[in-house]
Amino acid sequence: MKPIFKYLLLSLAVFLFQLNSIGQDKTIDSLKLALKNATHDSTKCLTLKILCKLEKDYDLKMKLAMQRLTIAESHLTDPDKAIRVFFLKQKSSSLNTIGLIYSDKFEIPMALECYYKSFEIDESIGDKKGMATSFNNIGRVYYNLGDIAKVLEYWHKALKIREEMSDKKGIGSSLSNLAAIYLVQGDKHKAFEYENRSIKIKSELGDLIGVAHSLNNLGIMYREQGNLPKSLECHEKSLKIKEEIGDYQSMPESLNNLGEFYIKQGDFEKGLDFHFRGLKICEEINDKNAMTLTLTDICLSYSSQGKLNEAFNYGNRSLKIAKDLGFPQSIANAAYALKSVYKKQNKYKEAFEMYELEIKMRDSVNNQETQKATVKKQMQYAYEKKELETKAEQDKKDAIAKAELNQKENERNYFIAGFGLVLVLALFILRGYKQKQKANAIILEQKELVDEKQKEILDSIHYAKRIQTALLPNEKYIDRSLKQLNKS
């Protein structure tokens, strides 16, 4: 990483550490101020990422995510590869955030499009952690659609990547997700196995928030199994961890689980104590959705005890907040609670109105379920179509590959045949060369023999000549002898 990025990340880390000691609203204000004063786009992207996580309003969250996406895309042609990769990661992360918003609004095709685009970016830069995140989010979409087979497929893909990376935190999260699916399937053995493996990994990492989350899940599993003592133990441990680390965001969940547990056991005083503690935290952190659930539970508890005025006050408050939020399930729950109060007060007209509202909201929820089923069928059709297109493309690639392989095999065979011919020709040439060498050697040997014989003959002639010369008188001697005879 370039020094400038290291500096920016360090500065942001110090800034975030300073935010830990202040409330969430002040944290958001401080982050907005930091965003305004930021001079580097990398700092802006990282700050926007945190703001998106803290912001609860979907419209504002989308606006922040889109702003981050725009900044990231403006740097994708930078000549510096490190900068391009950094902002590609920011783009991928932004798309995942936008996908989550679409998913929560049940705009499934848009959500999946964002997730797949994010995955393609992460795959192109080799960011396996990002790839696993995209698979995990895609699995969540199919979870909302009720397509368990697809959920298991994508969550196991995410788990596999995380195991290849030895990403223990990610592994712990994946195991917990899969445990919830196996519980829905009725495979309690696997559900407990995966959740306990998750807790072990999270404990080794010191991930207390993760441990608390898994303990809460185990508490629900034990309750479904009918093992109430173990369920209580898990919920109490989960709450204790959250209190120790100050995880106020998820604390109401544990408090409400414990409140519900004690009320079902007939201990209304202790149960209500937990519910009121949860309600107080919901009000402090302004978590209205959790607030409606808690208020409805309090209403039902007071109604069971015959304290109808208190029950009405909390039930009516729950209904008002639920209507403001526009969540059909929360409205139906509050209407059901108020219906029971009105019936006990002999206010049958009001009770019937609550009944009608409850049915209307139930129908709305059922319509949503129908919509989910429709979208699921559409997604299945799109998936099958994509599978066929992929298969056709693969068949085409296989045919091309086979043709190329045949061509290579033919080329190899031609080469082998040509090489064999060259080798045979070379052997003939070598044989001829050796035969020529042998013939030359014989000729040379015969020449040497002839030369030797010729030399012997010449030597014999020269020897005979010398003998002849030695025996015969020379011409001067003959002339001198003739002259003497004449004188005589």
Domains and CATH numbers, the chain: 1-147 (1.25.40.10), 268-369 (1.25.40.10), 453-488 (no CATH)
Token output for 251: 């604390």
Vertex 177: Cα angle to 224 and 118 (nearest 5): 155
Q: Give CA 194 to chain center in angstroms.
A: 20
User: Quick one: which of 240, 234, 237, 200 has its CA closest to 217?
Assistant: 234
CA–CA separation, 170 and 257 (whole Å): 26
Per-residue pLDDT tens listing for the chain (488 residues): 454 444 444 444 434 444 444 455 667 788 888 888 888 898 899 999 998 888 878 889 999 999 999 999 999 999 999 999 999 999 999 999 999 998 877 788 899 999 999 999 999 999 999 999 999 999 988 887 778 888 899 999 999 999 999 999 999 999 999 998 888 788 889 999 999 999 999 999 999 999 999 999 999 899 888 899 999 999 999 999 999 999 888 899 999 999 989 998 899 999 999 999 999 999 998 888 889 999 999 999 999 999 999 999 999 999 999 998 887 888 999 999 999 999 999 999 999 999 999 898 887 666 544 444 444 444 454 444 455 556 666 767 777 777 777 777 777 777 776 777 777 777 777 777 677 777 667 766 666 666 666 666 666 666 666 655 555 555 555 566 666 666 65
Region of 216 on the Ramachandran plot (φ > 0 left; ψ -120 to 50 alpha; else beta): alpha
CA–CA separation, 138 and 151 (whole Å): 8
- Residue reference for tokens 């209580």: 232
Using CA atoms in the order 334, 336, 341, 345, what is the torsion angle rounded to 10 degrees?
130
Token output for 192: 């407990």
Q: DSSP string spanning 155-184? A: HHHHHHHHHHHT-HHHHHHHHHHHHHHHHH
Q: Check residue 306 and report its DSSP letter.
A: T
Give the H or E element holding residue 332. helix 328-344
Residue 274: what pLDDT? 95
Q: DSSP string spanning 212-269? A: HHHHHHHHHHHHHHT-HHHHHHHHHHHHHHHHHHT-TTTHHHHHHHHHHHHHHTT-HH
Token output for 236: 């109490």
Backbone angles phi, psi at 160, to 5 degrees: -60, -45
In terms of pTM, does the model score above 0.85?
A: no
- Residue reference for tokens 């009405």: 312
How many other CB atoms sit within 10 Å of the CB of residue 272?
20
